[in-house]
Amino acid sequence: MALTTPRLPRRFFVRDPVVLARDLLGRVLFYKTPEGLLAGRIVETEAYTGAADPASHAFRGRTARNAVMFGPAGHAYVYFTYGMHHCLNVTAGAQGTAGAVLLRALEPLAGVEIMRARGDHGPESRLLSGPGKVGRAFGLSLVDNGRDFTRGPLGLATGAPVPDREVAISRRIGISRAVDLPYRFAVLSSPSVSKAPTLTRSCSRGG
């Protein structure tokens, strides 16, 4: 499996964040670092729809922190939270609409020893089982905010799309507003999903 090629093209990202969140499952996040290649298969995502979404960082408009969300689709929106975690999002939709998809969990594919060296010595399947873990294992920081996934060291490759029958749709977690929206997508069989979804529905049953 070619982990870094072909990359997903710009047009892939210029879609509704909810549609993009579903279609990012099975794709490959990679980062070519001085220490070596890091890569993981995306198995859990959450969509945030900007001005229409009270849980979105962009709900109250553009700020210095969220400016990347208002730019072109297919860029990295990295934010720092809880004084310890860097979380990675993929910008979505038309420029100016501020949609984004949070990458919540991945299955490690390359660079496991590099990931472990950054502090997590648990089971390999759990190294990337949460957005904070993804940020730590990939060594992300605010320097990565705004990186273009279609070029440069941080990228998203085509991987293999996940069939509808293997996808769960549920409510987002870790938020206090707009909690009922079914904007979280997860691969049902993956041991790397951050938390077993309280199933709203599976894609094969009308998703």
The tens digit of pLDDT for each residue in 130-141 reads: 999 999 999 999
Domains of the chain listed by start with CATH number: 10-205 (3.10.300.10)
The rounded percent of the chain whose pLDDT value lies above 90 is 67
Between residues 162 and 56, the one the model is more confident about: 162
DSSP per position, 16-49? -HHHHHHHTTT-EEEEEETTEEEEEEEEEEEEE-
Q: Do residues 88 and 140 lie in contact, with contact meaning Cβ atoms separated by under 8 Å?
A: yes
Residue 57 has a pLDDT of 67
pTM of the model: 0.91
- What is the distance between the alpha carbons of residues 179 and 200, in angstroms, rounded to a whole number? 12
